Chain A
Amino acid sequence: MYDIAGEHASAIGAAIALLVIVWLVLRALSVLSHRRVGWAVALLNTYRATSAITKLAAVLMLVSGVIHLALIPSHEGITGVLFVIDGLGFIALGVAAFFTSWWRRPAVLWLVATIVAYVVWVIAGWETPDQIGIACKLIELVALGLIMRLAQPGRRTWPRRIWRAVAFPMMASVATLGIWVGGLAHPDALHAHAGALLQPVAAVATPEQRQAASRLLADTRASIARYQDPAIAIAAGFKPGAVSSADPLRHFENSANANAVLDPNHPQALVYAQTKHGLQLIGAMYQMKRAGQWGPDPGGPLTQWHQHEGICFSPFGFEFSFETPFWTCPLGSTSITTPPMLHVWIVDNGKLGPFAADLDKAVQKQLQGS
């Protein structure tokens, strides 16, 4: 569900470069201090006198600062200006952590403001959440947690204790919820719904592509007509998928067809709908072998493949939930990205059409009631 935006990839290189530079500077200071260079000795002593927790918090803020600065070219207007301010602020606070006593409170405010601002930007649709942004928030959350641990113990009143206990988990929850809401409220053009990534295709189908799509639909309908009775499908090697109360559609998969590529005579799965009169064949599903390996789309934008990602599958049968933006699933469930798939609906799929990733809700309701 959350990919790496192409224009954000430079931030990874910038973060790695920063860590290498920090290491080289420390090595250089070590060499110079061995040669008794006064300022190098002073700097190295200051660095060594600083606690590991402060060092780590400072480095994390420097990393966040550099990531923000590296992302400036891909952000225009007020967002770009804020990235400059944010990046420079983090670098200043990261350096101040070694030399000052006042840096903690401004750093906490800066970190909280940055995380909250990101959530606001994402919910408003001014920024699309991607893995670089989310990784940056994770780094900032850890830095925030470290700095909160550095705070001097004040008066131990119960409100203070409760606030100290809930502040950090609450910040993590706000960040997660905000990124989630933003991602769901403003999906990009390649997300059909939460968790389904669509194959990039041209905007308009050519007449040849329309013909090819019609041919694929007709061939698929003719080929799978013999499996109206699920018992025949089972006899032919299709294995019924697990029953799920959350999904009224049942997929019957045939592993013997795994190597076929968009072959109407060898679809990877048949799709049945649970009706009042039993299972009704409503379509076929073609599937590639590996995640990210898009299949041929003879109908161009009409036959757009999709793959499901960010899905947490339960070990108790066909049950799933969505992964959090921080890539965590409930304990015992597994994050899965499926290989690309293409559904061909042989029933009238309403406004979504015969190759849509999903069955039209109205059609689904009608089938369940029939």
Chain B
Amino acid sequence: MSITSPAVAATTAPPTTSAPEIASVLVVTQASLSLVAGLSAIPFAIVEPGFRVLSLLTILVAIGMFWLARNLRRQRRWARRWVIALEALSLVASLLLTVLPIGAMRGPVPVLVNLVMPAAILWLLWSRSGRAAFKTARRSDARDAA
């Protein structure tokens, strides 16, 4: 198949709509990891009352993140705002933990999960293409309403 094959065009979406899609996939990944963290704390919650609360809270937040990811993909502006707020909070908390001498960030996995992923989502939603995708959605919403 030649490099100028029309198949390329058939498999690709317009580049401007990719930012919300990529951000939603990253949010789904985060939600999946949070869901597992919440579920994995359940055995400890049997004897530790504090973890009953944290486990339930984590599972609920994970479900909320799946919902936010779905609405991010649908280019809902309120979902973008919520995700930006949550990711900024998560990033700030992770940076604080990095500074504290408690060994919270050691190695590539915690850096990828706690720093790179939230930073990438923020960058995608704040980037020119990200903002443009949500502005386009607002215009089409207004047109539909009219």
Chain B interface size range? 35 or more
Tell me, in angstroms, the Cα distance from A345 to B123 when the chains sit together: 53
A52 touching B22 in the complex, CB below 8 Å, given contacts A327-B109, A335-B97: yes
A324 interface residue (CB < 8 Å to B): yes
A314 touching B50 in the complex, CB below 8 Å, given contacts A99-B1, A146-B22, A291-B101: yes
- List 26 interface pairs A-B (beta carbons < 8 Å), by A numbering: A46-B8, A49-B9, A56-B22, A101-B7, A131-B109, A135-B108, A135-B109, A141-B29, A142-B25, A142-B26, A172-B32, A173-B39, A246-B48, A314-B50, A319-B44, A320-B44, A326-B113, A328-B36, A330-B37, A330-B51, A333-B54, A334-B102, A335-B102, A335-B110, A337-B102, A337-B103
Is A138 within 8 A of B112, CB to CB?
yes
* Partner-contacting stretch, out of B55-63, B77-85, B138-146: B55-63
A272 interface residue (CB < 8 Å to B): no
Is B103 within 8 A of A336, CB to CB?
yes
The residues in B between 1 and 23 inclusive whose CB is less than 8 angstroms from any CB of A are: 1, 3-5, 7-15, 18-19, 21-22
The residues in A between 50 and 67 inclusive whose CB is less than 8 angstroms from any CB of B are: 50-54, 56
Is A101 within 8 A of B10, CB to CB?
yes
Tell me, in angstroms, the Cα distance from A141 to B102 when the chains sit together: 28
CB nearest to B127 among chain A residues: A52
A290 interface residue (CB < 8 Å to B): yes
Tell me, in angstroms, the Cα distance from A329 to B44 when the chains sit together: 12
The residues in B between 45 and 102 inclusive whose CB is less than 8 angstroms from any CB of A are: 47-51, 53-55, 57-58, 61, 66, 73, 97, 101-102
Is A321 within 8 A of B44, CB to CB?
yes
A100 interface residue (CB < 8 Å to B): yes
Tell me, in angstroms, the Cα distance from A336 to B103 when the chains sit together: 6
Is B109 within 8 A of A2, CB to CB?
yes
Partner-A contacts on B (CB < 8 A): 1, 3-5, 7-15, 18-19, 21-22, 24-26, 28-29, 31-41, 43-44, 47-51, 53-55, 57-58, 61, 66, 73, 97, 101-104, 106-110, 112-114, 129
| 0/1 string, A298-331, CB within 8 A of B gives 1 | 0000000000010010111101111111111111
Tell me, in angstroms, the Cα distance from A338 to B104 when the chains sit together: 10
Can you name 4 extra interface pairs (CB under 8 A) apart from A2-B109, A150-B13?
A100-B1, A172-B32, A291-B101, A328-B36
The interface residues of chain A lying within 8 Å CB-to-CB of B40 are 176, 180, 321-322, 324
The interface residues of chain B lying within 8 Å CB-to-CB of A180 are 40
Tell me, in angstroms, the Cα distance from A2 to B109 when the chains sit together: 9
The interface residues of chain A lying within 8 Å CB-to-CB of B3 are 42-43, 46, 98-99
CB nearest to A171 among chain B residues: B32
A51 touching B57 in the complex, CB below 8 Å, given contacts A3-B107, A327-B109: no
Among A101, A180, A321, A331, chain B packs the most CB atoms within 10 A around the CB of A331
Is B51 within 8 A of A319, CB to CB?
yes
The interface residues of chain A lying within 8 Å CB-to-CB of B18 are 51-53
Tell me, in angstroms, the Cα distance from A2 to B112 when the chains sit together: 15
Is B26 within 8 A of A337, CB to CB?
no
The interface residues of chain A lying within 8 Å CB-to-CB of B37 are 323-324, 328-331
| 0/1 string, A21-63, CB within 8 A of B gives 1 | 0000000000000000000001101100111111010000000
Partner-B contacts on A (CB < 8 A): 2-4, 12, 42-43, 45-46, 49-54, 56, 98-101, 103-104, 131-132, 134-135, 138, 141-142, 145-146, 149-150, 168-169, 172-173, 176-177, 180, 244-246, 290-292, 309, 312, 314-317, 319-338
A134 touching B104 in the complex, CB below 8 Å, given contacts A142-B29, A330-B57, A330-B58: no
Is B48 within 8 A of A321, CB to CB?
yes
Tell me how far the C-beta of A165 lies from the nearest C-beta in chain B, rounded to whole angstroms.
8
Is A104 within 8 A of B112, CB to CB?
no
Tell me, in angstroms, the Cα distance from A135 to B49 when the chains sit together: 32
CB nearest to A139 among chain B residues: B112
Is B104 within 8 A of A331, CB to CB?
no
Tell me, in angstroms, the Cα distance from A2 to B50 when the chains sit together: 26
Is B33 within 8 A of A335, CB to CB?
no
Tell me, in angstroms, the Cα distance from A316 to B45 when the chains sit together: 12
Tell me how far the C-beta of B88 lies from the nearest C-beta in chain A, rounded to whole angstroms.
16
Tell me, in angstroms, the Cα distance from A75 to B34 when the chains sit together: 32
Among A141, A146, A180, A327, chain B packs the most CB atoms within 10 A around the CB of A327
CB nearest to B46 among chain A residues: A246
Is A330 within 8 A of B32, CB to CB?
no
Tell me how far the C-beta of B38 lies from the nearest C-beta in chain A, rounded to whole angstroms.
6
The interface residues of chain A lying within 8 Å CB-to-CB of B49 are 245, 316, 319
CB nearest to B25 among chain A residues: A145
Is A146 within 8 A of B25, CB to CB?
yes
Is A314 within 8 A of B54, CB to CB?
yes
Tell me, in angstroms, the Cα distance from A315 to B14 when the chains sit together: 46
